[in-house]
Structure 1
Amino acid sequence: MNLLEYPDLEVLIMQIRNASGFDFSGYARPSLLRRASRYLTKNKLTLPQLISHLEPESDIVFDLMQEMTVNYSEMFRDPDFFIGVKSEVFTYLESYPGLRFWVAGCASGEEAFSLAILLKECGYLDRSLIYATDLNNKVLTAAREGVFTLSNVRTFSENYLLAHGQNSLSDYYHVSYNKAVISREIRKNIVFSLHDLTGDGVFNEFQFISCRNVMIYFTLELRQRVFRLLYESLSMLGFLCLGKRETLRYSGIEQNFRVVDTVLNIYQKIK
């Protein structure tokens, strides 16, 4: 049950913006409402109490922002996507002397690690650099460590096999203190850094951008702004990958792409 009503949420969004400069106004309201209510419940706060603590640069501002951003993922999530990337994208990129990949909204690094493993098995990892970004510093810290529970890794291993992995996922991690730690070889070509898709600009040019299951939390206006950023970050003939519930329709840039796969939502920039 939500503790907040939508008018309360608008007040909270304004207070967060005033205290931190981060603007949640373009995010879909139902998800924000659930997460803000959960934060109040978890911390045993009322809305007035929370607002009274939202001072610029305060710990509680950033703690609330971490709670209100979406951080769930799995390694090799949607295994057919990775099969499609290998067959329809990597074969096109194999002639490039150097490759730059961007995993936007990387959460705890699951997709970045999956991509690195796929590149390793295809022989491209040594000439690839993966930028993995998120606006949530807490999950980025976890991503840099590359540590997962063994129960999560069992799910990851099932996904890996369904994605036609060439080996065993256990070849890419070691177990320490009942945790799985992603190997140094897989992590070394990944750069994890803070980046806000809704407010920050272009920071490099990429042959491949994965921004999966991120747009569904944005309003149409914000999606269009983010799509423009992704378009400007792609090299000509670069590939853009979206989640299965997402689409380039109404993005304002759909005419600049050809559809590589309508089911997996893989697109290639053509102009």
Structure 2
Amino acid sequence: MTETFEKVEDIEIRLLLEALYHRYHYDFRSYAMSSIRRRLRQAREQLGFATISAMQERVLHHPEMLDDMLRFLTVQVSEMFRDPSYFAAIREKVVPHLRTYPSLKIWIAGCSSGEELYSFVILFREEGLEERTLFYATDINPEALAQAEAGIYDIERVRLFTENHLDSGGKGSLSDYYTTGYNRCILDKSLRRNVVFSDHSLVTDQVFGEMQLVSCRNVMIYFDRDLQDRAVGLFRDTLPRNGFLGLGSKETLRFSTHADGFREFVRDEKIYQRIGS
């Protein structure tokens, strides 16, 4: 009985993903099935639907429900200076190379609600590179992009942000970059002056310029193998020779057909450098 239910549920899921693609042009069809199944079960329970088919009917005929679906289907879990050793490696190993460029373009792919973006902006300000850098922050979720652009976070998260900043080699105090009020941490608007926020899908969109650094962390773990390969191909195309790519701690280029375009630069932190032309 359980096996039959799961087979039916998988059919419902595939039909829902097709509906989202053809109705709204959001393509989750190449995301890892186990992850999608878990998220849609959560959505069904929390939104009060008896079946995933019922959710499909609602989202097809009621566009206002799309935001609810995207909230469950896109991962919005982040923190400032998450994995401090990664940012320490960027500061100590990558930044010296970036200093040689007269201008820089940095792409935070899958920026979620903006914590990683602001971590980079603060790091680059502390290292004297912010003024010559343009930051591109992209995500497929418009609600997440709006949160990122607002730069407002719950005050109880600040302690962790502060510890991470310190552990990453941060200079000065993180409190220099925000004010507080109404149980919120409000990042200084000057941190957004060199930032371009834009919707972009690693599933369907192409590259949009040459970048010296791409950071795409804990995004590809939710893709199937073919989609992971497509994303790495995009990063390879957007990076010049000697450009840098940073991935999440559980991600790798090992199985990508584009792996020969990179070398390990900081192995433990999953930072790669583009080789070749």
Normalising TM by the smaller chain, what interval?
over 0.9
Q: CA deviation at 1:56?
A: 6.8
| Structure 1 residue 200 corresponds to structure 2 residue 205 | yes
For 1:32, the equivalent position in structure 2 comes to 36
| Structure 1 residue 173 corresponds to structure 2 residue 178 | yes
For 1:70, the equivalent position in structure 2 comes to 75
TM-score, length basis structure 2: 0.93
- What is the alpha-carbon distance in structure 2 between the residues aligned to residue 99 and residue 266 of structure 1? 18
Q: What amino acid does structure 2 have at the position aligned with 1:133?
A: T
Q: CA deviation at 1:57?
A: 7.8
- What is the alpha-carbon distance in structure 2 between the residues aligned to residue 143 and residue 17 of structure 1? 25
Question: What is the aligned counterpart of 1:138 among 128, 140, 143?
Answer: 143
- What is the alpha-carbon distance in structure 1 between the residues aligned to residue 40 and residue 228 of structure 2? 22
Q: Secondary structure at the match of 2:59?
A: coil
For 2:20, the equivalent position in structure 1 comes to 16
- What is the alpha-carbon distance in structure 2 between the residues aligned to residue 130 and residue 245 of structure 1? 25
Q: CA deviation at 1:94?
A: 0.5
Preserved contact between residue 16 and residue 53 of structure 2 (Cα < 8 Å): no
- What is the alpha-carbon distance in structure 1 between the residues aligned to residue 192 and residue 27 of structure 2? 32
Runs of 4+ more than 4 Å apart: none
Identity of aligned residues (%): 39
Q: Secondary structure at the match of 1:237?
A: coil
Preserved contact between residue 20 and residue 56 of structure 1 (Cα < 8 Å): no
- What is the alpha-carbon distance in structure 1 between the residues aligned to residue 65 and residue 183 of structure 2? 32
How big is each residue's C-alpha offset from its partner over 1:41-65, in whole Å with a ceiling of 9 and x where there is no partner? 1111122322222327812234312
For 1:42, the equivalent position in structure 2 comes to 46
Preserved contact between residue 20 and residue 57 of structure 1 (Cα < 8 Å): no
| Structure 1 residue 184 corresponds to structure 2 residue 186 | no
- When structure 1 is superposed on structure 2, of 254-263 and 105-114 the one drifting more is 254-263
What is the root-mean-square deviation in Å for CA atoms of aligned residues? Answer: 1.5
| Structure 1 residue 100 corresponds to structure 2 residue 108 | no
**How many residue pairs align between the two structures?**
269
Question: What is the aligned counterpart of 2:228 among 212, 223, 235?
Answer: 223
Runs of 5+ unmatched residues, structure 2 = none
How big is each residue's C-alpha offset from its partner over 1:46-96, in whole Å with a ceiling of 9 and x where there is no partner? 223222223278122343123211111100000000110011110011021
Q: CA deviation at 1:157?
A: 0.7
For 2:158, the equivalent position in structure 1 comes to 153
- What is the alpha-carbon distance in structure 2 between the residues aligned to residue 57 and residue 268 of structure 1? 45
Q: What amino acid does structure 2 have at the position aligned with 1:246?
A: E
For 2:244, the equivalent position in structure 1 comes to 239
Q: Secondary structure at the match of 2:147?
A: helix
Preserved contact between residue 74 and residue 111 of structure 1 (Cα < 8 Å): yes
Q: What amino acid does structure 2 have at the position aligned with 1:27?
A: Y
TM-score, length basis structure 1: 0.95
- What is the alpha-carbon distance in structure 2 between the residues aligned to residue 41 and residue 267 of structure 1? 40
Q: What amino acid does structure 2 have at the position aligned with 1:13?
A: L
Q: CA deviation at 1:137?
A: 0.5
Cα separation, partners in 2 of 1:56 and 1:85, compared to 1, 3 Å: farther
- What is the alpha-carbon distance in structure 1 between the residues aligned to residue 66 and residue 143 of structure 2? 13
Preserved contact between residue 198 and residue 226 of structure 1 (Cα < 8 Å): yes
- What is the alpha-carbon distance in structure 2 between the residues aligned to residue 205 and residue 138 of structure 1? 27
Runs of 5+ unmatched residues, structure 1 = none
- What is the alpha-carbon distance in structure 2 between the residues aligned to residue 268 and residue 208 of structure 1? 9
